[in-house]
Amino acid sequence: MTGSIDLRSDTVTRPTAAMRRAIAAAEVGDDQYGEDPSVLALEEEVAGLFSREKAIFTPTGIMATQILLRALVAPGDEVVCESSAHVVAYEAGAAAINAQVQFRTVDGDRGRLDADHLEASLRPVGFPNTEVGAISVEETTNRGGGAVYGLERLVALRAIADGREVPLHGDGARLWNALAATGEDPAAVGATFTAFSVCLSKGLGAPVGSLAVGDAAVIAEARRWRRRFGGAMRQAGVLAAAGSYALQHHRERLVEDHANARAIATTVAEAHPGSLDPDEVTTNIVYVPTGTRPAAEVMAALAEQGILVGAMGPHLLRLVTHLDVDAAACVRAAEALARALDGR
Ligand SMILES: Cc1ncc(COP(=O)(O)O)c(C=O)c1O
């Protein structure tokens, strides 16, 4: 909402003036003929960034995940993921309908699968056990408070996937945040996944778009599924240009969002010791327990002051920092939140 401090999600950003100029100047063509230079450039740029063979532009993160799961997993097979993963919790059952897979969920730590626990949870191989079709991880974890797996944990999970001869799928909606937080090499991290998605419309601040990334054969198959799912666009270069702009200009600043999130967590923790651990806030998502006060009440009190946050449970709020909220706005929001938690 204009004029408010909107911390409900990092998806609420609006294109900047410079991004709008990039959109206006975009060269376009029919992408179904392979003739949109801006889409082709974006796909090449993202594949190159991760040293992978191919990337494909999709309208949404959900579509990128769905086409990858459809390309990687046989219908009826099981995708193993953490219990709170976006793919199982927040996609309106898309994977059952579109990717035609079923899930096996495993509890983890802040949304992250633990290698040992995962290995112990996998079903045995052989009839009549449901086949494990893929392992899916989210980097960073949304419901886990933006927790980062990091390279070492991803390598361990890939080893388990390889041991079972199944793909490791990555939901990288906020992979950019993970890379900004760890400073790890995108190519090394990208190599851990058989195939993965990245979003342009979250921390990077583009209005629309995600990409699915992987080997040429997987992405060729994903391209067929994008078409079947109705996600094959035409002069999509106007959108891709926003994505390229975001990649070039908004990646490095993600660390500012992380510092702002940490500052919010620190202010709340100082006012309400033990309510949350600021050290756990390593990217741009902060979960705040509201104690005995209903989250809806705290949310309403903040909304009256023009501060928007999300309720993620009866006593749990979520704040997500992004391009459209600066450090001063985050300080204001954090102080108001600390007061609202006390009913002041
Ligand atoms: C972890 C994660 N994966 C996937 C998505 C889906 O992205 P989209 O809304 O672009 O479909 C989201 C959206 O917030 C997300 O947080």
Quick one: DSSP state of residue 143?
T
CA of 282 to the centre of ligand 1 (A): 19
pLDDT given for residue 344 in this prediction: 73
Rounded percentage of the chain residues whose pLDDT exceeds 70: 99
In angstroms, the Cα distances linking 210 to 136, 230, 282 are 17, 15, 23
Asked if 286 and 145 count as a contact pair (C-beta separation under 8 A), the reply is yes
CA of 198 to the centre of ligand 1 (A): 9
- Please give the number of the atom of ligand 1 that sits closest to the Cα of 62: 11
CA 32, chain centre distance (Å): 27
Q: Across the chain, what does the average pLDDT equal? A: 97
The pLDDT of residue 6 is above 70: yes
CA of 257 to the centre of ligand 1 (A): 18
210-214 and 54-58 strand pairing: antiparallel
Distance CA 52, CA 64 (A): 16
The arithmetic mean of pLDDT across residues 164-176, rounded, is 98
CA of 11 to the centre of ligand 1 (A): 9
DSSP 40-95: HHHHHHHHHHTT-SEEEEESSHHHHHHHHHHHHS-TTPEEEEETT-HHHHSSTTHI
- Please give the number of the atom of ligand 1 that sits closest to the Cα of 141: 1
Asked if 79 and 104 count as a contact pair (C-beta separation under 8 A), the reply is yes
pLDDT given for residue 315 in this prediction: 97
Q: What burial class does residue 313 get, using C-beta atoms within 10 Å of its C-beta: 0-12 exposed, 13-18 middle, 19+ buried?
A: exposed
Distance CA 225, CA 234 (A): 16
User: 66: Cβ below 6 Å to ligand 1?
Assistant: no
- Please give the number of the atom of ligand 1 that sits closest to the Cα of 64: 11
Q: Which of 302, 301, 300, 297 is nearest to 314 (CA)?
A: 297
Distance CA 84, CA 107 (A): 8
Q: Is the pTM of this model over 0.75?
A: yes
| Pocket perturbation via mutation, ligand 1, pick of 79, 86, 91 by most ligand atoms within 8 A of CB | 86
**What is the helix (H) or strand (E) element at residue 313, kind and residue range?**
strand 310-313
The pLDDT of residue 129 is above 80: yes
In angstroms, the Cα distances linking 220 to 33, 176, 191, 223, 302 are 14, 24, 18, 5, 47
CA of 343 to the centre of ligand 1 (A): 33
Distance CA 157, CA 115 (A): 6
The pLDDT of residue 2 is above 90: no
The pLDDT of residue 3 is above 80: no
CA of 235 to the centre of ligand 1 (A): 23
Cα dihedral: 265, 271, 272, 273 (round 10): 80
User: 91: Cβ below 6 Å to ligand 1?
Assistant: no
pLDDT given for residue 100 in this prediction: 97
CA of 258 to the centre of ligand 1 (A): 19
CA of 189 to the centre of ligand 1 (A): 19
| Pocket perturbation via mutation, ligand 1, pick of 62, 98, 174, 312 by most ligand atoms within 8 A of CB | 62
CA 123, chain centre distance (Å): 28
pLDDT digits (tens, 9 = 90+) for 232-249: 999 999 999 999 999 999
pLDDT digits (tens, 9 = 90+) for 42-71: 999 999 999 999 999 999 999 999 999 999
Please state, as a whole number, how many other Cβ atoms lie within 10 Å of the Cβ of residue 62. Answer: 24
Q: Amino acid letter at 16?
A: T
What the block records as the tokens of 227 is 């078409």
pLDDT given for residue 343 in this prediction: 82
Quick one: DSSP state of residue 96?
I
Q: Which of 267, 252, 236 is nearest to 329 (CA)?
A: 267
Asked if 132 and 123 count as a contact pair (C-beta separation under 8 A), the reply is yes
User: 267: Cβ below 6 Å to ligand 1?
Assistant: no
User: 298: Cβ below 6 Å to ligand 1?
Assistant: no
pLDDT given for residue 253 in this prediction: 98
User: 318: Cβ below 6 Å to ligand 1?
Assistant: no
